[in-house]
Amino acid sequence: MSDVEFIGTTKIYDDGTVALDSLDLTVREGEFLVLLGPSGCGKSTALRLLAGLEDISRGEIRIGGSRVNDLPPGARGLGMVFQSYALYPHMTVRANLAFGLRRGRGDARVDAREISARVEEAAEMLDLHKWLDKKPRELSGGQQQRVAIGRALVRRPKVLLMDEPLSNLDAKLRNRMRFELRRLHEAHGTTTLYVTHDQVEAMTLADRVAILSEGKLQQSSKPLEAYHRPANSFVASFLGTPAMNLIEGAAKGGVFTAGELSFALPEHLAGRDGPGIFGVRPEDVQILDNGEGGGSPGDVHCRVGGVEHLGSDTVYHLEAGGNWIRVLRRRSADRAQGTDGEPGSEIRVNLAVPAALIFED
């Protein structure tokens, strides 16, 4: 295992497009780090630069402390798993697992006994024994993905790279494979850099998540820290389903105003002054029974614009003073509070909650 360092790493294409802008990021030895962001944010570019599949325009990449800018892909000690499993259809699972080892030359050459031992080890780790003599066409998508992961692991890589490896699987299989990938990492401990646009994968798999937008690193932290304490409004809006409520306006004298909407700020934000973006997670908004108490300065009267019943959860889309507010509630909580609002009805909520934030970006 090795650590990975991106030091001012930049990629600029011939047409002037900046795909990655001065990335400074360290993947610690044994860490599972997820590069997360929307399409075109630079996450796959960073992975390709690390793999040696593209040239770096500026900056450095180090693996285990050694500069690798000019090393060919095969000399970097990496294992790679991509969205396309790239299995050889005419070979058995056993042969696919061993293929990269059999092609080694010189110091990288592995003898037949060692190859067999590594294949058996990977098969045991990934529960592939019963399929070793089958061809890829006889396997399910999840089984093929396990073979692709096994083929990377038998190389005993310093770093394991994964680029959207679960995107071809259906939702049920993705859920299972997320659990298996996390279990595999905990057992094996290989330094892993994983690229995805799927926030659920990032939140469930990562030791640490690095969120990118337009080629720039926005935040690097533990997943729950990024969720609860986002560095800016982009991170706040990208993480979470439904997304964080973001209301543009201005704070003054302990009150936040956005168009016709005005409400008291919670105590920890009461000292803020000037323009900003008020943010609160849908699950943190307090729904109040219309007959409950005499109200408080943080209360907002809303019109129900729509309701989504998602089984265990209910999402309310509320309109207040020209602003839309999403509220997420568990059905049990809804029943207890009597908030079975229907479109067109009125609901009172409180936004002055301890988890609220104000962004200045």
Q: Write 97-104 long-range contacts (CB < 8 A, 24+).
A: 97/122, 97/123, 97/128, 97/132, 97/147, 97/150, 97/151, 97/154, 98/154, 99/151, 100/151, 100/154, 100/155, 101/154, 101/155
Nearest in space to 219 (alpha carbons), one of 361, 18, 51? 361
Give which of 224, 263, 257, 243 is closest to 353, Cα–Cα: 263
3-state DSSP helix/strand/coil % of the chain, to nearest 5: 30, 35, 35
pLDDT at 240 > cutoff 60:
yes
Of the candidates 91, 104, 93, the one whose C-alpha atom is nearest the C-alpha of residue 126 is 93
Predicted confidence (pLDDT) at residue 191 exceeds the cutoff of 50: yes
What residue spans define the domains of the chain? Answer: 4-232, 245-359
N-terminal to C-terminal alpha carbon distance within the chain: 38
Count other Cβ atoms within 10 Å, centred on residue 31: 19
Task: Tell me how far apart the alpha carbons of residues 129 and 105 are, in angstroms, rounded to a whole number.
Answer: 28
Work out the number of other CB atoms within 10 angstroms of the CB of residue 153.
Answer: 21
Instruction: Report pLDDT digits (tens) over 342-351.
Output: 888 999 999 9
How would you write 162-208 as a 3-class SS string? EECCCCCCCHHHHHHHHHHHHHHHHHHCCEEEEEECCHHHHHHHCCE
175: how many CB neighbours lie within 10 A of its CB? 13
Instruction: Find all residues with CB under 8 Å of 292, minimum gap 6, and list them.
Output: 348
What is the rounded CA–CA span in Å between residue 188 and residue 6? 24
- In DSSP terms, 319 is beta-bridged to 303, 324
pLDDT given for residue 18 in this prediction: 97
Q: What is the pLDDT of residue 145?
A: 85
pTM: 0.87
Q: Which residue do the tokens 């095969």 mark?
A: 74
Domain 4-232 in CATH 3.40.50.2300? The answer is no
Taking Cα atoms as reference points, which of 320, 327, 316 lies closest to residue 258? Answer: 320
pLDDT, tens only, 258-274: 999 999 999 999 999 99
Radius of gyration of the chain (CA): 25
Q: Which of 148, 147, 190, 145 is nearest to 166 (CA)?
A: 145
Cβ-based neighbour number of residue 115 at 10 Å: 19
* 166 alpha carbon, distance to own chain's centre: 13
Q: Cα(294)–Cα(164) distance, rounded to whole angstroms?
A: 52
The DSSP bridge partners found for residue 25 are 6
Tell me what the mean pLDDT of segment 309-325 comes to.
Answer: 93
Instruction: Kindly state the average pLDDT of the residues 319-344.
Output: 77
The structure tokens 């409950």 sit at: 292
Q: Which CATH architecture has domain 245-359?
A: Beta Barrel (2.40)
What is the signed CA dihedral for 59, 21, 4, 84, rounded to 10 degrees? -120
- Local confidence band at 339 (pLDDT 50, 70, 90 cut-offs): low
- For 152-172, write each residue's pLDDT tens digit: 888 889 999 999 988 877 888
What is the pLDDT confidence band of residue 334, given thresholds at 50, 70 and 90? Answer: very low
